[in-house]
Amino acid sequence: MEKVKKEKKGFNIRLCRPDSEEKYTVFFEEKGNRIIRCYVRDSFCCGRVFVGKANCHEGDTFNRAVGMDLAFMRAIAKRRRFYDGMLKDSLETITSVMEHDASIEHKFRKFLEKVV
């Protein structure tokens, strides 16, 4: 009996940093002969899944490789936008907290006048 090779639909990757390890899963799903979806599961952000979709329009010739590439790039673009938003929010918070320095110093000067 001949062993049937299972079709690969995605891959896993584990990336290490000095203080942590992130795991990513990328897999594809085909709907009929016209739609390919790519799912990028990101363990860094609570297992969030970013989805990219590629449609083959009527009159176009279906090309699986092009569809997978397009769906993957769209999923990665969504992931990038998500992290860009997180970065922007974090920077705004840090900037806001750093602007408190003047108020803290003013309060310190008033305190210093009272105790000296």
pTM for the predicted model, two decimal places: 0.76
Domain ranges of the chain: 10-115
How far is 116 from 111, CA to CA, in rounded Å? Answer: 9
So what's the pLDDT on residue 4?
65
Give the pLDDT score at 40. Answer: 94
CB 66 within 8 A of CB 31: no
How would you write the pLDDT of the chain (116 residues) with one tens digit per residue? 566 666 779 999 898 888 888 899 999 999 988 899 999 998 877 778 999 999 998 888 989 999 999 999 999 999 999 999 989 989 988 888 888 888 899 899 999 999 88
In angstroms, the CA 79 to CA 100 distance is: 32
- Distance between CA 41 and CA 84 in Å, rounded? 17
Q: How far apart are CA 62 and CA 14, in angstroms?
A: 32
